[in-house]
């Protein structure tokens, strides 16, 4: 047992931290200003940051294997945390932003040679963006077998009909491709009914209806969260990813690393929040002493530190399990971090907001926006309650 | 001791409930649609609703004395709860919306005859809106003696310089008048340094800079939350409310009833949230049973009911104390409801959101918007922590 | 709506408070000393206190109707709170201690003339004590229809077989009579299978096996919590209370007032805990300032006050509902106070203990003992979770 | 970074687990029975268990260096967890029980040759027991510089006067030696005023007054928690441990490993509680389904697993830090585990108790006893609040 990072990780951490200090944090203010007028796409300064990150070798760090940086989950995890400290900029700048990351993993792992050339290549180069269309308004998203969008084979084509929402990134005009999950084989066994197909965003019948809000935020600089309607959308049969009925399995494979990335980025947000909370508490005076001298605020700071230290270790261990025993062996831990992380980080952000008073809920600090994103992860990929139930079943089985 | 409402209250409750059923709830969808395009003012349908409410005798219910409906706090409180069930519409429709309510109370209680004719009259008639400019970005708002905006007597005028923010309603073009709190007598004792003056919104030097966001919301249909800069703003000396140095006392007097209104409206929101939570839980199925059958969801519903019942009684008792022993005698309870209400209602809204999944955080349900408003009341008029400290001091004094 | 006590209540409160000050609190230390050596019975000084209370007209206050003081639930409730401030002494001294209270109510309401003469009379006079034998070790006590003890008619007798535990008071040698709940009519509808019979404690076959502990406490001064085995215990048929199959209904009737008494006494304990917490915090210094000056401790004190104020009002309203609309109409509230009270008071006691440090968990302060009693009420009469489920079902039904 | 145990640890874990299965768990029932009649000492069966443990090489595992098993903190930590699953038996059986462990560490690290021969030797052999006398009733124990017991040099002797309480183990007749902390140099700088001296338990003037209770428990089988009065107690100057004024430093050195042991044992208790909770939930039926099928209980089980996994990793990392960067470098983490562990484990035990109903608080399950011990660790070595404050100060300093 050893709690020190290896040298590859240490080296990349150092370079990434330097990139944050030299390029990312200094760009935050301008980013917000540009974002206010740049519609559904990335603010223009992002292009330079991407070029700079790539030049520094901080590119596609998330992707194992030959297509990317080739890091293990455990090596990438602490880098995701650092990116999470400036989550609107750093992940995109380093081409490590969801949902492209998961989509690239899917294409690298399950895509045909043609699919990889056509779609993985420009994604790896950061030239286009993509979306992942799974969640539906009419069914509980915790139960993936519920999905009702139809993907019907018709000769050499698939015909897609259905309604999706909260499809992150799909409002971005630079989003060129969607991976769509739907039901292709309704008579197959429960977990073999789904397929995934690639649908270019400009395919006729694909309607981007509106951007869904998250606590008032449109998240325009991330391409929003679209409601998308598929009306007799036709794509060539070659657009099927993997095999028919393989959609559920691909979705599962996509989940594990995604959870680790999400959780580590949230830990980065928590660290940023602690920093902001401390700085504000030191700077602000009320009733004759600084807020930092108030016992209750000290309690929040200490609790934040105590909770985030525990949480980070669990996420790192999960990454290690993914690397050593795989998705299945890490099942309990992958659920555990999904349950623990949003709740813990939400708590910390709430306290940081409270220390900032009215400013904390406003556009003048990043806290309220981070909070809204983190809170919505308490039900993304299924609400925490579903995951707890499943985790409890496994625990109970040990004693049956 | 008697827990039944009196007949005046019962009668008004019945009429108000009917108004909600017949006019308010049916208007909610159209209100949201109009609000999306009506800028910083009220959606146009509001005019009809106001007329209707006035016709039904549901007008200025909040205001005691001859100028209004003449109800006690205890009589009005249950009506405020009912309005809170549709908080974007019902309070405005009945001319019972903050901050006009508090401003009308101030003018009715402390205004000169001229001030009442000029400003109270059109407010009572719902012809104009108003704002209350107290909070400042640069000082902790919990400590009102901190206020730094200057109100300096210069001959027959007052000259105002300073910066305020989160001035609710001030973005509304129909907002014609601001009550501004500032420091007029810096050498007086601590609680006699502040004055309040009336400043018409079109006075030269008064700059409405921008709307502050609350989480992602601009609250445009309420006239937003403005940042306002006062640059050598001059008003006649007659615009002083009450006497010089009397600002702090007026602010205190304004607080008590406002707290009760706010708290009761929040209880109405909580009841609405419980209803939505139950309806959704009954309607939605996951993993083969309705969400309503899940033990954890039942636990939330029960806890919500148990908490809201306790809370309502405390707010009602506080109203009764205000009526019987006054602001000072109700001091502990006024602080207690400020502490208890946002926290409790926030918890209930959070659970209702969770039951709604992704929809719950979106514009398709009112829950996330309500949540944002309630959460920001955890620091409005000073953060809960300051109020707890003060309440604890009084408790400790009993045993010293 | 009126939050003031009526004059009967005010008068009795005043007299009871004087009794507490003059007789009860001064006896606490001697009580603990005597209790250490007085086995399973009341310490000897209790006899004098009872005589004194009776002389002062503070006797059987709990009992409505002619047999007792004739108070309503709403009138008695604030008196129960006062008694709860010294819960080992005051309830017994005033002949208002559980389980005698509930047993007297049962006998007054359902007992035959003979039963009242034989058992109610000496109980009313405080000459004997009694026990209520319902809970069983082998079945979940939340589900009263589960009860497995058999009460079989055999000619002119009932024969009882079964095992009960946590039968409070039954270790006390002065406990002369047990009301035993069991199954008499296994083929009747679910809620008509149970009966209650009177079993004198010296009946052959009734074995008091041992005292159950609550955390480390034996509660000897209350007669402990006995495990009792019934082996072919025979009583005359006249010992049946009410009618065969009526046991469940009697148990339900017994519950309502008992809940109010328990809850109000717990609120009295909470008030005592707040007092002790404040006094200690004022008296104790660490790191150069008193504990009372620490922000976190102030937060606990304020939260305690805020929570207990809400809770008390709900219990009082429940008493009022019991008086005005009866058991059934107060169903939700009776469950609500069962859920809210132990949890809230446990929290307050925990904080008071923490302020006392090591002393707080020891025999030198009453806090740990109170805590243990309160915590066990989180599952007495069925765990909170069962009550929440049932309350949620009623809430959900409103919207179905 | 590597989350696997090394081979030394794996081997010892396996042997210890076998010892638990073959010897410890089977002895639990008899242990409780013997404990009921064995006064303040260990039940007789402990002697055999100790012999067996020693034979199996499971002896003094806690002690680094030549005197003990020579394990690192990181190697011993998982063994302490296993022992914690049966905390009344396993630590004592393996001679790894507090406070002997800390006392042996002190003697091994700071004792003179004579002291080691006289007192360390028999402790290492498990022939005698010892106590550590630090906590005082009259001063806040969180502030060690507060200590008021006097240790005055008088010729070739030290004279001790003062009052201590909660001196664990001191009621045990086999406890032969106390390490006493007191003030020897009141004029020295704040942290150089204290000294530690060895005081044989039979020294004249040393009075064991009474056993303090912890929530009703006397903890007799651990030798209780004594109140001890020192009245002109005289010991030879050779009984000083280390140097005069060195007491505070020794106390600090003693703390670190002790915290890790305590925390890992508590994690073992938590695991035991989860097991008991699951087993009971599976076995018990109410309202037609097992408790394990209830959503709220599943939620508790899942939360317990999620929390304990995070907590364990933090304690293990702290052990690793102690081994690699020492006490000072691990300062934040040592405080963090002190804060996090009792709170988390208390929560889990509470839920396990609730699942057990009345049985859970009784002597029929170990849960209530474990709870009482864990809860009192929320203020042992200073209340959590003090540690949080100190941790917050360090966090704030990063940003000053």
Q: Helix, strand, or coil here: C287?
A: coil
| Residue A242 · residue A254 · CB < 8 Å | no
Longest CA–CA span in chain A (Å) reads 77
Average pLDDT, chain B: 96
CB contact under 8 A, C284 and D217: no
Residue A346 is encoded by which pair of tokens? 């939400």
Average pLDDT, chain D: 96
For B299, which residue in chain D has the nearest alpha carbon?
D296
| Residue C244 · residue C271 · CB < 8 Å | no
Using the predicted structure, report yes or no on whether residue B143 has a pLDDT greater than 90. no
- State how far Cα B97 lies from the chain centre: 7
B120 Cβ contact partners less than 8 Å away, ≥ 6 residues apart: B67, B104, B107, B108, B111
Helices (H), chain D: 7-19, 25-35, 46-55, 73-84, 90-93, 100-110, 113-115, 121-124, 247-283, 295-324, 326-329, 331-356, 358-361, 367-376, 384-397
Residue B348 is encoded by which pair of tokens? 């209930």
The one-digit pLDDT tens for each residue of chain A (400 residues) are 999 999 999 999 999 999 999 999 999 999 999 998 889 999 999 999 999 999 999 999 999 998 999 999 999 999 999 999 999 999 999 999 999 999 999 999 999 999 999 999 999 999 999 999 999 998 776 677 789 999 999 999 999 999 999 999 999 999 999 999 999 999 999 999 999 999 999 999 999 999 999 999 999 999 999 999 999 999 999 999 999 999 999 999 998 899 999 999 999 999 999 999 999 999 998 888 999 999 999 999 999 999 999 999 999 999 999 999 998 899 999 999 999 999 999 999 999 999 999 999 999 999 999 999 999 999 888 899 999 999 999 999 999 9
Distance set, CA B149 to CA B164, B197, B250, B264, C237 (Å) = 8, 12, 17, 32, 86
DSSP 8-state symbol, A264: H
How many Å apart are CA A143 and CA C122, to the nearest integer? Answer: 64
Chain A environment of D5 (Cβ under 8 Å): 1
Distance between C133 CA and the closest CA of chain B, angstroms? 30
Residue-range domain boundaries for chain D: 7-124, 129-242, 248-397
Find out whether the peptide bond into B34 is cis, omega within 30 degrees of 0: no
Q: Which of D141, D213, D380 sits opposite C216 (nearest CB)?
A: D213
The superfamily CATH assigns to domain B7-124 is: Acyl-CoA dehydrogenase/oxidase, N-terminal domain (1.10.540.10)
DSSP 8-state symbol, A132: E
Chain D environment of C364 (Cβ under 8 Å): 212
Q: How many helices (H) and strands (E) does chain C have?
A: 15, 10
Using the predicted structure, report yes or no on whether residue D232 has a pLDDT greater than 80. yes
Instruction: Count Cβ neighbours within 10 Å for each residue of D332-341 and write b for 16 or more, e otherwise.
Output: bbbbbbbbbb
Q: Is the dihedral of CA A88, A94, A96, A97 positive or negative?
A: positive
Distance set, CA A67 to CA A13, A106, A320, B98, C201 (Å) = 21, 12, 21, 58, 83
How many Å apart are CA A277 and CA A353, to the nearest integer? Answer: 8
Give the neighbours of chain A: at least 3 Cβ pairs within 8 Å.
B, C, D
Distance between B174 CA and the closest CA of chain C, angstroms? 39
Quick: pLDDT tens for A205-260: 999 999 999 999 999 999 999 999 999 999 999 999 999 999 999 999 998 899 99
Q: Helix, strand, or coil here: C380?
A: coil
Chain A environment of C296 (Cβ under 8 Å): 295-296, 299
B129-242 carries CATH number 3.60.110.10: no
Q: Is D210 exposed, middle or buried (0-12, 13-18, 19+ CB in 10 A)?
A: middle
Give the confidence band of C34 by pLDDT, cuts at 50, 70, 90.
very high
**Which one, of A135, A170, A163, A185, lies nearest residue A231 by Cα?**
A163
| Residue B370 · residue B349 · CB < 8 Å | yes
Distance between B186 CA and the closest CA of chain A, angstroms? 17
Label the pairing between strands A285-286 and A240-241.
Answer: unpaired
Quick: pLDDT tens for C389-399: 999 999 999 99
For D285, which residue in chain C has the nearest alpha carbon?
C140
**For the whole model, what pTM was predicted?**
0.97
Q: Which of A166, A354, A372 sits opposite B358 (nearest CB)?
A: A166
Give me the count of residues in chain A: 400
Chain D environment of A395 (Cβ under 8 Å): 274, 278, 301-302, 305
Cβ–Cβ contact D215 with C under 8 A:
yes
CB contact under 8 A, D391 and A299: no
Q: Is the dihedral of CA A301, A306, A309, A314 positive or negative?
A: negative
Find out whether the peptide bond into A99 is cis, omega within 30 degrees of 0: yes
- State how far Cα A318 lies from the chain centre: 17
Q: Is B315 exposed, middle or buried (0-12, 13-18, 19+ CB in 10 A)?
A: buried
CB contact under 8 A, C306 and B340: yes
Average pLDDT, chain C: 96
| Residue D202 · residue D226 · CB < 8 Å | no
Cβ–Cβ contact C355 with A under 8 A:
no
Give the confidence band of D326 by pLDDT, cuts at 50, 70, 90.
very high
Cβ–Cβ contact C298 with D under 8 A:
no
Task: Among C165, C217, C362, C392, pick the best mutation site for testing chain D contact (most D Cβ within 10 A).
Answer: C362
Chain C environment of A295 (Cβ under 8 Å): 294-299
- Fold matches, A129-243 and A248-397: no
**Can you tell me the mean pLDDT for B41-70?**
96
Around Cβ A289, how many Cβ atoms within 10 Å? Answer: 9
Using the predicted structure, report yes or no on whether residue D143 has a pLDDT greater than 90. no
Ramachandran sector of residue A63 (left: φ over 0; alpha: ψ -120 to 50; beta: rest): beta
Using the predicted structure, report yes or no on whether residue D142 has a pLDDT greater than 80. no
How many Å apart are CA B109 and CA B246, to the nearest integer? Answer: 13
Cβ–Cβ contact A313 with D under 8 A:
yes
Residues 266-295, chain D, touching B (beta carbon < 8 A): 294-295
How many Å apart are CA B148 and CA B137, to the nearest integer? Answer: 10
Q: Where are the beta strands (DSSP E) in chain B?
A: 129-133, 150-154, 157-168, 175-183, 194-200, 206-211, 225-236, 240-241, 285-286, 289-290
Please, what CATH class does the domain formed by A248-397 belong to?
mainly alpha
Quick: pLDDT tens for C223-241: 999 999 999 999 999 999 9
How many Å apart are CA A210 and CA C341, to the nearest integer? Answer: 48
Residues 112-151, chain D, touching C (beta carbon < 8 A): 135, 137, 140-143, 146
Chain D environment of A4 (Cβ under 8 Å): 1
| Residue B233 · residue B199 · CB < 8 Å | yes
For B385, which residue in chain C has the nearest alpha carbon?
C299
| Residue C268 · residue C80 · CB < 8 Å | yes
C228 backbone dihedrals φ, ψ, rounded to 5°? -125, 130
What's the pLDDT at D140? 75
Using the predicted structure, report yes or no on whether residue C138 has a pLDDT greater than 90. no
Chain A environment of C297 (Cβ under 8 Å): 295
Distance between B355 CA and the closest CA of chain D, angstroms? 15
Chain D environment of C369 (Cβ under 8 Å): 216
Domain C130-244, architecture per CATH: Beta Barrel (2.40)
Residue with tokens 């009841």: B271
Domain A129-243, architecture per CATH: Beta Barrel (2.40)
Q: What pairs with residue B154 in β-bridges?
A: B157
A280 backbone dihedrals φ, ψ, rounded to 5°? -65, -45
Task: Among D296, D303, D354, D355, pick the best mutation site for testing chain B contact (most B Cβ within 10 A).
Answer: D296
ipTM of the predicted structure?
Answer: 0.96
What's the pLDDT at D115? 98
DSSP 8-state symbol, D217: B
Q: Which of D1, D9, D292 sits opposite A3 (nearest CB)?
A: D1
How many Å apart are CA C297 and CA C293, to the nearest integer? Answer: 8
Distance between A337 CA and the closest CA of chain C, angstroms? 27
Q: Which of B217, B359, B376 sits opposite A137 (nearest CB)?
A: B359
**Can you tell me the mean pLDDT for B293-309?**
98
Q: What pairs with residue A234 in β-bridges?
A: A159
Cβ–Cβ contact D297 with B under 8 A:
yes
B111 backbone dihedrals φ, ψ, rounded to 5°? -75, 155
Using the predicted structure, report yes or no on whether residue D141 has a pLDDT greater than 80. no
Q: What pairs with residue B181 in β-bridges?
A: B196
How many Å apart are CA A137 and CA B323, to the nearest integer? Answer: 49
Distance set, CA C234 to CA C157, C238, D167, D229 (Å) = 6, 12, 52, 57
**Can you tell me the mean pLDDT for C144-164?**
94
How many Å apart are CA B366 and CA A213, to the nearest integer? Answer: 12
Element (H, E) at C30: helix C25-35
Q: Give, in degrees to the nearest 5, the angle at Cα B243 between B237 and B244.
A: 75
CB contact under 8 A, D298 and A388: yes
How many Å apart are CA C178 and CA C200, to the nearest integer? Answer: 6
CB contact under 8 A, B391 and C302: yes
Chain D environment of A278 (Cβ under 8 Å): 395-396, 398-399
**Which one, of C272, C195, C274, lies nearest residue C239 by Cα?**
C195
Give the confidence band of D82 by pLDDT, cuts at 50, 70, 90.
very high
Around Cβ A224, how many Cβ atoms within 10 Å? Answer: 26
CB-side neighbour CA atoms (13 Å) of B37: 5
| Residue A234 · residue A203 · CB < 8 Å | yes
What's the pLDDT at B382? 85
Give the confidence band of C256 by pLDDT, cuts at 50, 70, 90.
confident
How many Å apart are CA A232 and CA D81, to the nearest integer? Answer: 60
Chain B environment of C314 (Cβ under 8 Å): 309-310, 313
What SS3 string covers D84-113? HCCCCCHHHHCCCCCCHHHHHHHHHHHCCH
Residue A199 is encoded by which pair of tokens? 């649908």
Distance set, CA B238 to CA B185, B202, C237 (Å) = 17, 17, 90
What SS3 string covers C39-58? CCCCCCCHHHHHHHHHHCCC
Give me the count of residues in chain B: 400
| Residue C369 · residue D216 · CB < 8 Å | yes
Using the predicted structure, report yes or no on whether residue D144 has a pLDDT greater than 80. no
Chain D environment of B294 (Cβ under 8 Å): 295
Give the confidence band of B255 by pLDDT, cuts at 50, 70, 90.
confident
């Amino acid at each position: 047992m050893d709690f020190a990072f290896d040298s590859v990780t240490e080296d990349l951490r150092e370079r990434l931290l330097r990139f944050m200090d030299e390029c990312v944090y200094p760009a935050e203010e301008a980013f917000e200003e540009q974002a206010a007028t740049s519609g559904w796409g990335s603010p223009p300064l992002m292009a330079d940051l991407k070029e700079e990150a790539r030049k520094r070798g901080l590119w596609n760090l998330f992707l194992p294997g030959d297509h990317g940086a080739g890091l293990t989950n455990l090596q990438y995890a602490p880098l995701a945390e650092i990116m999470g400290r400036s989550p609107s900029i750093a992940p995109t700048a380093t081409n490590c932003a969801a949902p492209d990351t998961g989509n690239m993993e899917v294409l690298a792992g399950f895509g045909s040679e043609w699919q990889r050339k056509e779609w993985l290549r420009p994604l790896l180069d950061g030239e286009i963006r993509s979306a992942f269309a799974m969640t539906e308004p009419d069914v509980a998203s915790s139960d993936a077998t519920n999905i009702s969008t139809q993907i019907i084979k018709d000769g050499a084509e698939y015909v897609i009909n259905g309604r999706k929402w909260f499809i992150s990134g799909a409002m971005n005009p630079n989003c060129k491709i969607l991976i769509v999950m739907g039901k292709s084989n309704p008579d197959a066994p429960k977990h073999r009914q789904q397929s995934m197909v690639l649908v270019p965003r400009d395919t006729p019948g694909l309607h981007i209806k509106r951007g869904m809000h998250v606590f008032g935020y449109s998240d325009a600089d991330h391409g929003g969260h679209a409601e998308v309607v598929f009306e007799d959308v036709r794509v060539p049969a070659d657009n099927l990813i993997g095999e028919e009925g393989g959609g559920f399995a691909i979705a599962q494979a996509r989940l594990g690393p995604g959870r680790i990335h999400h959780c580590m980025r949230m830990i980065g947000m928590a660290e940023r929040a602690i920093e902001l909370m401390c700085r504000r508490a030191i700077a602000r005076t009320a009733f004759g002493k600084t807020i930092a001298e108030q016992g209750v605020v000290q309690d929040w700071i200490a609790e934040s530190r105590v909770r985030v230290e525990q949480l980070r270790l669990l996420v790192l261990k999960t990454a290690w399990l993914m690397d050593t025993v795989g998705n299945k062996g890490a099942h309990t831990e992958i659920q555990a971090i999904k349950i623990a992380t949003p709740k813990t980080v939400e708590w910390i952000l709430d306290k940081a907001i409270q220390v900032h008073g009215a400013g904390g809920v406003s556009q003048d600090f990043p806290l309220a926006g981070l909070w809204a994103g983190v809170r919505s992860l308490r039900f993304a990929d299924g609400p925490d309650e579903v995951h707890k139930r499943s985790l409890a079943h496994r625990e109970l089985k040990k004693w049956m």
